[in-house]
A and B are shown apart, each in its own frame.
Chain A
């Protein structure tokens, strides 16, 4: 009886659906699984299913004809997707949706369903036409990609944790080094030795500031010299407790690679601590100007004070401060010029190759 029905629908010239034998034959033989349902009958049953549909689902023709398509659903089928299909049928509109469907043997496949209403000449609803496409491979690929992403995310999380861990340890260790110096100098009676320890502490604090700034942003590999100079100078001038030293900052943002940051920071620290230690002695007030800018192929850092001025022979001494400054400049490939300033004090210029700076990020 179903056979007859199918033949009537798919093959007969009189059938409303698929007028013309050639068209019906094409549907029968098509490799794309296809069905037709009849909404005018109770529960919108399948009235035609082609061989490809039977191959895909594993059912016999007898199993499917006269039944509503919901037998393809199973516990894993998404209820919202089913609801959307039901709504499309109710509203007599097209729908394209992926569903998890079940074969006769219980195995599943991902079904890309294309469902369209078919209206008669008078505009009334006659059939629903549905084509199925097995897209399980696509889902399998997707699952594989997601699996790979999860693995990568796991590795990345581990690495991030590790970086945070190392960052934490470096910061704590820097704090411990400063603690050792602070605690030790408390028990040293000789003020000259205490001053030396204090110089050392200042250098370590400059390193600490670099490290704190490097890890404040997520961009651990970049370091803005302007931020550092602002922080360092505020800290150093504040620490002197002197309100008669005015600070003028004119800082263009110059971003350098992390590996250059400590050398540059230590160099700035030496120059600025020298100004604060030597330029404004015996109650002399004054100003400290720091400028960072780019000039042609150079990055230029200038520290200028209007203090007592530097004795020419002092700049060439072999004190630790001087040799540290010269060697840091060498490390940066920079030219270090110490000279009398325009305002009578001292001007220290550091001319670095532009290659030190990284292109500013958009």
Chain B
């Protein structure tokens, strides 16, 4: 692989083993995990000082709020692309009321669908599935728009698919 600046990634996952696995796989793929959080509270506290290109967020976090709240905060306030990594796709609000966009959202505001997230990776993912999703995201974030459809393992939310003009 060419020497590219690694993606700086924020990982939010409350299950110890799954956090360790995701970290290990992201690092093995050449990226940098700049911060991790294991609860909603921890994640929300970390956001203001966060410098990351991408966030992987588990939906169920064991405390009140959960990944949706974290994801929404990241996507709408910190303007960060969010990938939900979840065994609970059904819990993602598909058509929630977006509410007023934050004042500095600009055209980065993607409304309420999927809490403003970029995509969803369903658990249990396979190693290859995660790798192909990462390759796609790497390409998509460095040189948007991506020039191919996302892999099977990555569901792209309609807002991003529309923005990138990808049929999903």
Contacts and interface: CB of A to CB of B under 8 A. Distances in A.
A70 to B, nearest CB: 43
B77 to A, nearest CB: 28
B127 A208 contact: no
A55 interface: no
Interface string A81-95: 000000000000000
A180 B17 contact: yes
B90 A164 contact: yes
Interface in B81-128: 87-88, 90, 122-128
A109 B18 CA distance: 62
A235 B128 contact: yes
B21 to A, nearest CB: 4
B73 interface: no
A179 B18 contact: yes
B123 A175 contact: yes
B124 A231 contact: no
A174 interface: yes
A251 to B, nearest CB: 15
Nearest to B153: A235
Contacts of B25: 182
Residues of B in contact with A, size category: 20 to 34
A291 interface: no
B129 interface: yes
Nearest to B128: A239
B2 to A, nearest CB: 17
10 contacts: A167-B87, A168-B60, A171-B124, A175-B18, A175-B87, A178-B21, A180-B17, A183-B20, A201-B127, A231-B152
B122 A212 contact: yes
B126 A235 contact: yes
A344 to B, nearest CB: 28
Nearest to B90: A164
* 6 interchain residue pairs of minimum CB distance: A179-B21, A171-B87, A208-B124, A239-B128, A175-B124, A179-B17
A333 interface: no
A172 B123 contact: yes
Interface in A238-253: 238-239
Contacts of A172: 15, 18, 87, 123-124
A164 B91 CA distance: 10
B126 A205 contact: yes
A186 B21 CA distance: 11
Given A171-B87, A174-B124, A212-B124, A183 B17 contact: yes
B132 interface: yes
A171 B123 contact: yes
Given A208-B124, A235-B126, A176 B60 contact: no
A176 B90 CA distance: 21
Contacts of A111: none
A186 to B, nearest CB: 6
A234 interface: yes
Nearest to B22: A179
A171 B87 CA distance: 6
Contacts of B21: 175, 178-179, 182-183
B24 interface: yes
A239 B60 CA distance: 29
Contacts of B132: 238
B20 A179 contact: yes
Contacts of A208: 124-126
A201 to B, nearest CB: 7
B152 A176 contact: no
Contacts of A164: 88, 90
A180 B131 CA distance: 18
Contacts of B123: 171-172, 174-175
A176 B19 CA distance: 10
A211 B17 contact: no
Nearest to A175: B124
Interface in A178-212: 178-180, 182-183, 186, 201, 205, 208-209, 211-212
Given A168-B87, A231-B152, 5 more contacts: A168-B88, A171-B124, A183-B24, A208-B124, A234-B152
Interface string A229-271: 0010011101100000000000000000000000000000000
Contacts of B126: 178, 205, 208-209, 235, 239
A238 B18 contact: no
Nearest to B126: A205
Contacts of A238: 128, 132
B36 to A, nearest CB: 15
B24 A176 contact: no
Contacts of A168: 60, 87-88
Contacts of A179: 17-18, 20-21
A160 to B, nearest CB: 10
B20 A205 contact: no
A261 B125 CA distance: 18
